[in-house]
Chains A and B, each alone.
Chain A
Amino acid sequence: MADTAITMRQVTPDIAEGGDADPALSARLDVLDLPAGGFTAAARKDALARLRAVGLPKPRDEYWRYTNPAAFNAPVPDPIPLAEQGPDSPLFLERKRLTLVFVDGAFDAAASDDLALEGVEVGLLSTADADETHWSGEIYGRLEAAAQERVARPMAALNTAAARDGVLVRVTGQPSKPIHIIHRRKDESADVYYHHVIRLEPGAELTLLETGMTGARSNFVAEVDLAEGARFHHITAKRAGHEKLGWGGVFARVAAEAVFKSFTLSVNGTMMRHEAIIDIVGDDAVAHVAAAVLGDANRGPFHHDDTVFITHSAERCESRQVFKKVLKNGAKGIFQGKILVEPGAQKTDGYQISQALLLDEDSQFLGKPELEIYADDVQCSHGSTTGAIDETALFYLRSRGVPRDRAIVLMVLSFLADALEEVEDESLREEISDRLDAWLTRHA
């Protein structure tokens, strides 16, 4: 009757349903040229074993019930024509930053800045993996593996085995500017795997910006290890083509008094799934995960899945999940969020809100906001609402002379505001807000 046994029972079916003889997995692995790895060799081997044990995701898996994994399981993606530059200029170009450019998941030194930033050691998986040792060896594939003990995440194990590039960032100080990773496309059928490792030493701070578009299909993992009192802010505004397929997973470990904050802006994409698995392991730590998702399926299907699992295993920690989805023309939004409070994680303050605004009759929102609590002196709450635009508020704005389309844009922006609030830097927040305004106005 031990508490842990109960948790394990949930996991067992996921793992047991896999099995070695998975022809889909064999077909998937056959087309990949898996790197042997240097310092990552052992982690890659373990990841492959993990993947073989659980198999590829199946529609009947508990955490894949709302997202059909077929497109992620297919051996190769369908090619997607390279899109011309859209109406929006890339974000964050006007600010001071260290720019790193990846083309279809591979580092492009010529297009990037020198890898020099005070208080930061920037490396690349592609070059570092020639060596047998590296500081990131203790993290690469390890946070991802630890997270799999609760719920199988085969796409992440596949990434650890297959990724050839990504940034390896170690921060010891408080750099004066953010790191900006820009993704670009070159090959219309690229199947992209990249893997970042980010370690913030005690008291260190980093803002990481990530923008752009990569691959016909992409699979990324970011493992983020925050030491005591570190502050990490991750702002992602990836641009997806209408036919884009993407899976990504952020695996974070947050030590005492550290702060982890992420905000993701997602616009379009046929099939996108973002997972965030955060372990709060030190007292008085904070973790916030937020996303604003805009889906307009007028040019093809839109499916966006956010799957979040936050574990509290220390005292007096705070977590927030703020997910807002605006869905239109048959777009489909998914939110599966979980707060797990381990025995002894007293004074936990856990908050979760998932909201969907459906702008027409065809769009859908599917959610599973979950709590699993084993400590009594905690405050955990979750809320979820789904509905259409409030006609009364719309009427109010129109009666004040605001044209209908503009009124809707204003209401959608105010709907998204709570998620955007999670971007601490005001100028960054304004830049994102302006971008949202422009997108909404075009899609009104």
Chain B
Amino acid sequence: MNDITDLEVREGVDRETVETVANMGSYKYGWDTEIEMEYAPKGLSEDIVRLISEKNGEPEWMTDWRLKAYRRWVTMQEPSWAMLNYPEIDFQDQYYYARPKSMEAKPKSLDEVDPKLLATYEKLGIPLKEQMILAGVEGADAAPADGRKVAVDAVFDSVSVGTTFKDELAKAGVIFCSISEAIREHPELVQKYLGSVVPPTDNFYATLNSAVFSDGSFVYIPPGVTCPMELSTYFRINAENTGQFERTLIIADKGSYVSYLEGCTAPKRDTAQLHAAVVEIVVLEDAEVKYSTVQNWFPGDEDGNGGIYNFVTKRADCREARAKVMWTQVETGSAITWKYPSCVLRGDDSQGEFYSIAITNNHQQADTGTKMIHLGKNTRSRIVSKGISAGKAQNTYRGLVSMHPKATNSRNYTQCDSLLIGDKCGAHTVPYIEVKNASSRVEHEATTSKVDDDQLFYCRQRGMDEEEAVAVIVNGFAKEVLQALPMEFAMEAQSLVAISLEGSVG
């Protein structure tokens, strides 16, 4: 990169411009935290599975559940149908458990929390107040947050560092804690619902996750309760050669409502890291869950080195009548994304929505989309997917809309658009449409195009430079999805769109 800078400068180009261009696409969460970690031995075996279970202090039924999944996983083959091209993953060359040494005994006050962990969250932009709460400081919960409150479960490598606002949530009857805590404290709920949406046999990565998941979040909203604040989980991968396998289970009981946010980052490293999460959502009668993600894992460098391999199974089961679920995702990170947040519309009149923007740059590859499985009568689904591909990236929308014979009078509308920036990238659409009754209506639309010259000209005429103009056009293109994001993410998403596309034009 220095060579280019020198060359450009010799030609008399403005140094600042050259440096800006040279630094473009830089990942601002790419630093790491130097902290003493405790690892399970490298590799995967029944012993490692038992060890993870033991570290989490799990009862025997949970250990058995994991071992059963592990034994199945060793018989399974990694799927190859996605349009993704990456070197073979050596599943034995990974650490499956890593936690900061200081987390061995849970800190009770700010003074006890490892300052390095504290600094990590401060640097990631989590406000100080929230950070104090994060670290579990007594009294901070009572501090008036300015306006809205967001409860956070912060996961650092394999463990949950802390969950905020637990007491206040408990007053409303809401359970929000790490999944390891839920296994200990609420075994009846976990046993009833864990694996009921994504069974341990579901797919290669979900089965792997079922065997080795270390932490993640657990949410239970009791009947008729509107969760008093938004819930969020922040995932941070820090340790090298360590896979993160979190498991999230959300149960919205009859007539309840919750909005859940998920964020994730990781340091820049030369070697790729594995992330295989499972998110299960159970939505009962008249309940509604809104799940929003801004996925910002390290995407690898400009030459395609390193980055997170993200293989995620996310599924919501609208189990009863009039249940509603809404997935919103902004996918900008990861070297490899394999992710299909889905809705099983089992209850009559249930509704599923999926809004997605996937942005790939440099050597990133994303194969992402959704499944809308209509089983109940009068079920409704809507899919809006925007894929943006730049550099040498490949971006695939893959989706299924299935109307079962009994899902009469159901409705789906799908719109997926792709935008290509530059002639070295690819954008692909692979929708599956299965309609097995006549009273349902399914519509699918997709287009692929480049940034419109007329729009670009219009913006430039008004004094924008080309990159700004592209950012504005792309933001317009992605607006429908961004609007579906909760306030907390809207600003972040707007800037993410601009960041990922900088340097792609010209």
Contact = CB atoms under 8 A, between A and B. Distances in A.
Q: Do A and B share a complex?
A: yes
Interface in B379-428: 392, 394, 405, 408, 418, 420-428
B422 A373 contact: no
A370 B446 CA distance: 9
Interface string A160-203: 00000000000000000000000000000000000000000000
Given A344-B423, A365-B435, A385 B443 contact: yes
Nearest to A388: B438
Nearest to B395: A373
A369 B431 contact: yes
Interface in A364-418: 364-388
B429 interface: yes
B363 interface: yes
Query: A343, A346, A362, A386 — which one has the most chain B CB atoms within 10 A of its CB?
Result: A386
Contacts of B418: 371, 373
Contacts of A362: 405, 438
A133 interface: no
Given A369-B431, A371-B428, A373-B418, A361 B85 contact: no
A385 B426 contact: no
A387 B420 contact: no
A377 B423 contact: yes
A382 B445 CA distance: 6
Contacts of B394: 3, 6
Given A356-B435, A386-B433, A378 B448 contact: yes
Nearest to B409: A388
A384 B446 CA distance: 9
A111 to B, nearest CB: 43
Nearest to B426: A374
Contacts of A6: 83-85, 394, 426
Contacts of A380: 447-449
Contacts of A361: 405, 408, 437-439
Given A376-B450, A379-B449, A385-B444, A368 B430 contact: yes
A160 B264 CA distance: 54
A358 interface: yes
A385 B433 CA distance: 9
B420 A376 contact: yes
B423 A346 contact: yes
Nearest to A351: B447
Nearest to A12: B80
A366 B446 contact: no
B61 interface: no
Contact of A9 (B83, B431, B447, B449): B83
Nearest to B412: A386
A372 B426 contact: yes
B436 interface: yes
A61 to B, nearest CB: 11
B385 to A, nearest CB: 13
Interface residues of B, number: 43
A434 interface: no
A440 interface: no
A346 B450 CA distance: 11
A62 interface: yes
B229 interface: no
B440 interface: yes
Contacts of B427: 371, 373
Contacts of B28: none
B458 interface: no
A375 B424 CA distance: 7
A359 interface: yes
Contacts of B436: 364
Contacts of B441: 385-388
Interface in B16-50: none
Contact of B85 (A1, A373, A376, A387): A1
A384 B408 contact: no
Contacts of B81: 10, 13, 62
B304 interface: yes
B426 A384 contact: no
A10 B431 contact: no
Contacts of B363: 1
Nearest to A355: B443
B442 interface: yes
Query: B363, B434, B440, B445 — which one has the most chain A CB atoms within 10 A of its CB?
Result: B434
A321 to B, nearest CB: 13
Contacts of B439: 361, 388
Contact of A387 (B392, B440, B448): B440
A13 B83 CA distance: 12
Query: B418, B439, B446 — which one has the most chain A CB atoms within 10 A of its CB?
Result: B446
5 contacts: A3-B426, A364-B434, A368-B432, A373-B448, A378-B449
For the complex of A and B, the 8 pairs showing the least CB-CB separation, nearest first, are A358-B438, A376-B420, A387-B441, A367-B433, A371-B429, A384-B444, A386-B435, A381-B447
Given A356-B435, A358-B435, 12 more contacts: A1-B85, A10-B83, A13-B81, A360-B438, A361-B439, A362-B405, A372-B83, A372-B426, A375-B420, A378-B420, A382-B444, A386-B440
